[in-house]
Structure 1
Amino acid sequence: MSSLENGIRILQCFSAERSELRVSEVAEHLGLPKSTVSRLMKTLAESGLIEPDPKRRGYGPGILAFELGNYFQKRLKLLDLVDEALSRLVDEYHATGYIGVLNGADIVLIRVRQGSYPVRLVLEPGYRGQAFATTIGRVLMARLPDAEVRALHPDPLSHPEAEYETDIDSLLSDLANIRRDGVAATFNTNFSGFCAIGCAVESADEPQAVAFSLSFPTSAADDEIIKRMKKSMLVEACEIGRRVKDKYWQEFRSVPEFDSKIVAVDGTRYTGRIGSIP
């Protein structure tokens, strides 16, 4: 493996949960000699992609990485349209809003809007999660051919933290439903006790599809609230899609009437009627 490939692997070790890394932990994680990792991290630091932290004897993201991230976001004019739509949805439903993109078999959050609901799960921009277990990941994968989705995922699929498991055939069946309905809902698949509803849009002029979602406690919304959320998100996605010439949304004819019982991705039915989002 080339030095360039190993350098990329080192950069991929950074995440929202691991914003600072030491040579020893990177070497152990990647299975590389400490001398190799030390040399490559010094080279990355000289370029500005990472920078040393003498106090903690490690490295964090550098100014060049920050600048590249900003350039990436500026390229996506679509992102501003999605951000405006998500702001309206968060104001209306008080749930936490997320915007993310697909990266291989994972999703990466790039913007977060905090809701005002008292109980909420707030993840930071840069959070990386398994796409199959998230609403954002599912609506984005629904835009891929089944063969590509199958190639990205081993079978069976497992998310131990949420105690959620599925298989590739069930996932592909769920993605077919998302393509039909334009919207996805997941319950207790990424974090136990939380659910999310989301849509994805793609500009004819930009290379990256973007997804947005609302997240809230499973116990906080009844079926009617969830149906309203789905319809509101579809309206926003349709409007954005028409503006950016997204072929899928240009051909999307109507907002479907959803069954009064919302079917979760694991096949169980959500029947909670404890309360509603104020």
Structure 2
Amino acid sequence: MSSIDKAIQVLETVCDNPEAIRFTDLVARLGLPKSTAHRLLTTLLDHGLVRYDREDQRYSPGYRLLSMAQRTWERLDIPKVARDHMQRLLHEAGETVHLAAVDGHEIIYIDKLESPKTIRLYSAIGKRGPMYCTGVGKAILAYLPEQQQEDVIAHTEFVRHTAHTIPDARALRQALADIRVRGCALDMEEHEEGVRCVAAPIFNFRGEVVAGISVTSLASRMSTTRLQDLQSLLLEVARDISRELGYLQPNDHSRPGGQEAS
């Protein structure tokens, strides 16, 4: 193992520990010689990547990590990060793939890969859509902070686009609770008659939902069984994108996905 690998191990151990860690505990956990651990910690301290409290004699993550994380996040291009994963989803599902983000009280489609099969959809890159009756919209809304979620609901005009559209705030709150239990959202012809989709949320390094990804097709090709079959694939793709954005889930995803809109 190279010195860089060992230094990364040391840094990750300091960052992952729920509280500041003692040198002896760090050495015991990593199985490194004391001299090696001390040398690596000294280098990390010199670069501001870890901090040392002389009174407690414990190591903590350094403040420089915050500025590095912020600069990294500012340069992340979600569509660029997601594109290869979207291509995989298109290849395996064979249906249209959408990527959307929050824009005020609506969603905005930021990328789209068309199905090779003929299908006309409401969505287009740059087009906005409602959150309460689209798959990606509900997938994102379900994982917004409560105050922001309630703000969106308060500003929602519940237009009945189809006979299946969610009619009011009470029904929407129940749908969002179901999404958080199920881990993904379904659009069962709620926004466009004859169009169904399944969607999942995408999270950043802070654990914040920043986008949603979905698979959309005609209802004639999206039976309940087909939608269920696509859920595992979609959630896996959403997790992979989230990981590239720096999201580290505890065990698995405690907050997976949603569903897409037409």
TM over 0.5: same fold?
yes
Establish whether residue 191 from structure 1 lines up as the match of residue 192 from structure 2. Answer: yes
Establish whether residue 140 from structure 1 lines up as the match of residue 140 from structure 2. Answer: yes
How many pairs align? 185
Q: Which AA in structure 2 matches 1:245?
A: G
Distance 1:165 1:244, change over 3 A: closer
Give the Cα–Cα distance (whole angstroms) in 1 for the partners of residues 82 and 178 of structure 2: 23
Residue equivalent to 2:171 = 170
Q: Which AA in structure 2 matches 1:95?
A: E
Residue equivalent to 2:94 = 94
Residue equivalent to 1:216 = 217
Residue equivalent to 1:236 = 237
Distance 1:77 1:251, change over 3 A: farther
Residue equivalent to 2:182 = 181
Please list every run of 5 or more consecutive structure 1 residues that lacks an aligned counterpart in the other structure.
Answer: 1-72, 257-263, 266-278
SS in 2 for 1:108: strand
Give the Cα–Cα distance (whole angstroms) in 2 for the partners of residues 240 and 143 of structure 1: 16
> How high is the TM-score relative to the length of structure 1?
0.58
Q: Which AA in structure 1 matches 2:245?
A: V
Contact 1:91 1:115 in 2 (8 A): no
- Displacement of 1:123 in angstroms is 2.5
SS in 1 for 2:178: helix
Q: Which AA in structure 2 matches 1:130?
A: P
Contact 1:76 1:206 in 2 (8 A): no
Q: Which AA in structure 1 matches 2:106?
A: D
Q: Which has the larger radius of gyration?
A: 2
What are the Cα deviations for residues 141-191 of structure 1, in whole angstroms up to 9, with x where unaligned? Answer: 112133322222248852343352422122122222222332111111111
- Displacement of 1:122 in angstroms is 5.8
Contact 2:158 2:167 in 1 (8 A): yes
Contact 2:132 2:166 in 1 (8 A): no
Distance 1:105 1:187, change over 3 A: same
Q: Which AA in structure 2 matches 1:181?
A: R
Give the Cα–Cα distance (whole angstroms) in 2 for the partners of residues 154 and 108 of structure 1: 19
Give the Cα–Cα distance (whole angstroms) in 2 for the partners of residues 88 and 171 of structure 1: 31
What are the Cα deviations for residues 181-239 of structure 1, in whole angstroms up to 9, with x where unaligned? Answer: 32111111111110111111122179870111111011212333211211101111222
Give the Cα–Cα distance (whole angstroms) in 1 for the partners of residues 199 and 159 of structure 2: 20
Give the Cα–Cα distance (whole angstroms) in 1 for the partners of residues 216 and 209 of structure 2: 22
Give the Cα–Cα distance (whole angstroms) in 2 for the partners of residues 253 and 206 of structure 1: 11
Identity over the aligned pairs, expressed in percent? Answer: 19
Give the Cα–Cα distance (whole angstroms) in 1 for the partners of residues 212 and 253 of structure 2: 20
Contact 1:109 1:126 in 2 (8 A): yes
Q: Which AA in structure 2 matches 1:87?
A: Q
RMSD: 3.2
